Amino acid sequence: QKEVEQNSGPLSVPEGAIASLNCTYSDRGSQSFFWYRQYSGKSPELIMFIYSNGDKEDGRFTAQLNKASQYVSLLIRDSQPSDSATYLCAVNKGGGFKTIFGAGTRLFVKA
C-alpha cells in the first residue's frame, strides 16, 4: 500500500463545473495535509493546507479532511481551463516534517 494514494486520472470536467480530487493516506499519525498544483514543466505551488477535520474554504477551493477515514479531498468550484494541471496531495509523516507526496491527479478543464 502506498503511503499517499491518488487516482492518476486524467480527470476531465467542463468549464464551470466542480472538480473533485481525492487522496487517501496510510499513516494515522499524520497531522498536516496539503494540496499543491503543478503545471507541466513547472514547480509545485501550494494552494491549500488543512490541519483539522472538516472543511476549509479559500476562494474557489475547498479542502476536506476526515482523519477517521484517512481521507482528504480538494474541490474546485467554477473550474477554469487555467486550472488544468496536476494536483499533488501531500501528507506529513507521523506528524513530523517529512512530507510524502502522492503521484498526483491530472485535471483537464474543457472550455
Partner 1 sequence: NAGVMQNPRHLVRRRGQEARLRCSPMKGHSHVYWYRQLPEEGLKFMVYLQKENIIDESGMPKERFSAEFPKEGPSILRIQQVVRGDSAAYFCASSPPDTYEQYFGPGTRLTVT
- Which residues lie near partner 1 (CB under 8 A)? 32, 34, 36, 42-46, 49, 88, 90, 92, 96-104
Rounded Cα gap, residues 4 and 103, in angstroms:
8
CB of residue 55 to partner 1, shortest distance in Å: 18
CB of residue 26 to partner 1, shortest distance in Å: 15
Which one-letter DSSP state was computed for residue 93? G
CB of residue 75 to partner 1, shortest distance in Å: 20
Which one-letter DSSP state was computed for residue 62? E
Rounded Cα gap, residues 52 and 13, in angstroms:
28
Which one-letter DSSP state was computed for residue 52? S
Instruction: Closer to partner 1 by CB, 18 or 103: give it.
Output: 103
